[in-house]
Structure 1
Amino acid sequence: MKDKPLLVIINGLPGSGKTTLGKWLAVEARLPHFSRDGIYETLYDSLDCRMAGIPPQLGAASFAFLYSVAGNLLAAGQSLVVEGFFGKPELRTAEFLQLQQKHDFKPIQILCQADGQVLLERYLTRAGRADRHEGHQDLEWLEHNRERLLQGMLPPLTLDGPIVNLDTTDPGSIDYAAVLEVIREFQNDGTD
């Protein structure tokens, strides 16, 4: 019987290093990588939201598109990495479980976390950069989510499979090789 594909889910608050880790894993593990923010930005630009305004369902549509792409790859037996701020754990868990019912996969979660004050500083720095995509409306989000950001971490999604907690407060101290080894071991464990 063929092994189930692996779905690496990188989750965490904004500024916790999800995209950096996702891009690195894509290269090192040779897996496709899809970012919820990347999809959001693409839809924002394609729909000309700068001129037409942001449709109220754009955020939900970006998650739906992420799950659709992931589902197509999983249906073909392809393992992959998805990353995003899955900040509504009950809803996102239900969405991933629905995806798993359609396309059986082995989930592994990497939960990026950091000191809350560090996250706030990173967030503000990123919000002020000229290359930051305008669609994110970072300062508006922060008005309603400052305390959440200062908590430094999210609860994990309620899925089967291992959870790797990764403290990204000091990026230089992250043992990326250990994270990669956990993924490779889980990918090659032969369980169905």
Structure 2
Amino acid sequence: MGKPVLVIVNGLPGTGKTTLSRRLAADLKLPVFGRDSLYETLYDALEGQANDRQSRLGHASFALLYHVADTILAADKSLIVEGFFGNIELRSAEFLQLQQRTDLAPLQILCHADGELLLERFLARMESSERHGGHQDRKWLEQHKERLLRGQLAPLKLAGQLLEIDTTAPHSSAYAKLLGQVQRVLANGHSL
């Protein structure tokens, strides 16, 4: 019997992490937890008392994500977490701490896409009425536009498998291949 697998779906904003994670979760019958969803839940629970708290809410949402993952992994169950884990050094260290507490097999899925397309997606999402009001998208874009235009994020510094998927023009064959790879990792508990 293998170790529980922590599937980490990472990538720049607009790369389709949430969509991919939900699809994988449905096909694999795994729970999925998104960092943005936890942030939005905390934001709403505090009734938007935001400006000075948004940074703390961001930190709290990561801490909550790791706590939930730790609890599920400790029960010897696999799960999916997704988010923009863009501070590579810090997030790698946090995932390594989680790995030290729980004997897990990390599987990182790194999403990337054409930078111009990511900018278009980001702007469209920012203007959407469906976008949660707690996000500071304009501020983030002012600080990270060039990073977004590069289209790719460096992977986290973790042992384990790394799979990449280009979401510029999603193809069902690319998803089917990725799904098969993830199924093999889950079946083996850590190796393709």
* 1:146 partnered with 2:121: no
> Are the counterparts in 2 of residues 23 and 33 from structure 1 also a CA contact under 8 Å?
yes
Q: 2:89 is paired with a residue of what secondary structure?
A: helix
Change (3 A) 1:135 1:191: closer
Partner of 1:158: 157
> Are the counterparts in 2 of residues 3 and 190 from structure 1 also a CA contact under 8 Å?
yes
Distance 2:173 2:13 in 1: 18
TM-score, length basis structure 2? 0.95
Deviates more, 1:83-92 or 1:52-61: 52-61
TM-score, length basis structure 1? 0.95
Partner of 2:35: 36
Q: 1:146 is paired with a residue of what secondary structure?
A: helix
Q: 1:34 is paired with a residue of what secondary structure?
A: strand
Name the aligned partner's letter for residue 89 of structure 2.
E
Distance 1:183 1:66 in 2: 21
Displaced runs of 4 or more, over 6 A: none
Partner of 2:73: 74
* 1:85 partnered with 2:84: yes
Aligned residues: 190
**RMSD, aligned α-carbons:** 1.5
Residues 77-136 of structure 1, C-alpha deviation per residue, up to 9 Å, x if partnerless?
010000000000111000000000001100111000001000000000000001100111
Partner of 1:98: 97
> Are the counterparts in 2 of residues 167 and 174 from structure 1 also a CA contact under 8 Å?
no
Q: How does 1:1-192 map to 2 (within 5 A)?
A: 2-49=1-48, 51=49, 53-55=51-53, 56-172=55-171, 175-189=174-188
Distance 1:135 1:52 in 2: 7
Name the aligned partner's letter for residue 121 of structure 2.
R
Distance 2:42 2:82 in 1: 17
> Are the counterparts in 1 of residues 109 and 163 from structure 2 also a CA contact under 8 Å?
yes
Give unmatched runs, 5+ long, in structure 1.
Answer: none
Identical columns (%): 55
